[in-house]
Amino acid sequence: MTKEAALRRVALVTGAGRRIGQAIALGLAEEGYDVAVHYHGSEAGAEETLAAVERLGRTGTLLAADLRDAGAARALADRTVQALGGLHALVNSAAVMVRQPVEEVTPESWDATLELNLRAGFFVAQGAIPHLRRSRGSIVNIADVAAFEPWPAYVPHCVSKAGVVMLTKGLARALAPDIAVNAVAPGPVLLPDEWDEVTRRHFAATTPLQRLGTPEDVVAAVRFLLASDYTTGTVLIVDGGRVIR
């Protein structure tokens, strides 16, 4: 192995074709990672992410997969290693957030949320275990302050993100000491498109730091957790103080 190959770091970011996942992929490329850009429905966005990764002087690859298929989720790490030569960091960012009053939730919509937001992350991580053990790498799951706050119109989402918190803690215990597993729980960052300006201003005004978060706030937290050699099982809340109101 060449010295250059030994120094390369590779990250797999799920849901990297849009929103926070895209920002994380670019933030890790800026940090020196080569990046496997996973997407399902956001092909155009994923291509933009890959192009930006390459403009930063890093190597990237596109990985299309429906993570609700457990086999496809498990295979994602192997595909990353085949394309980029290794795996040092996994960021589980793929998720869906659907506004749905409790009376309108169906078994199908419930399963669709839990399968992507919770189950998929487990099986992607399961497939990554041998590679991350080899590199003594890290997993960062993207949770949400919805794990700690009940949102009446987003109950399946809240349940799924609470599950991500426990998934993080369970994997941290199960995979220690070889693999660190942590989570970031963002607050009001990239609010849903259907929220109007009045709602957005209200969220900013009722946040102790008096502003909405930015994708860069989340990226900074992910970078910190990936760089830390002595942090595992931690959920880093990045919400401007909303949960302490």
- For residues 87 and 130, the answer to whether their CB atoms sit within 8 Å is no
**In whole angstroms, what separates CA 37 from the centre of its chain?**
12
Of 125, 142, 132, 114, the residue nearest 16 (C-alpha): 142
Q: HSE (CB half, 13 Å, CA atoms) of 29?
A: 24
Is 154 one of the catalytic residues? yes
- Rounded Cα distance between 68 and 100, Å, is 20
17 to 37, 51, 175: CA distances (angstroms): 7, 11, 28
Catalytic one of 3, 33, 39, 161: 161
Three-state DSSP class for residue 38: strand
Q: Which is the catalytic residue, given 33, 154, 169, 230?
A: 154
Q: What span, in angstroms and rounded, lies between the C-alpha atoms of 107 and 28?
A: 37
d(CA 7, CA 1): 10
Which tokens belong to 196?
A: 């109007």
Contact 142, 165 (CB under 8 A): no
Q: Verify whether residue 33 is a known catalytic residue.
A: no
Specify the pairing of strand 33-39 against strand 138-142: unpaired
So which residues are the catalytic ones?
A: 154, 161
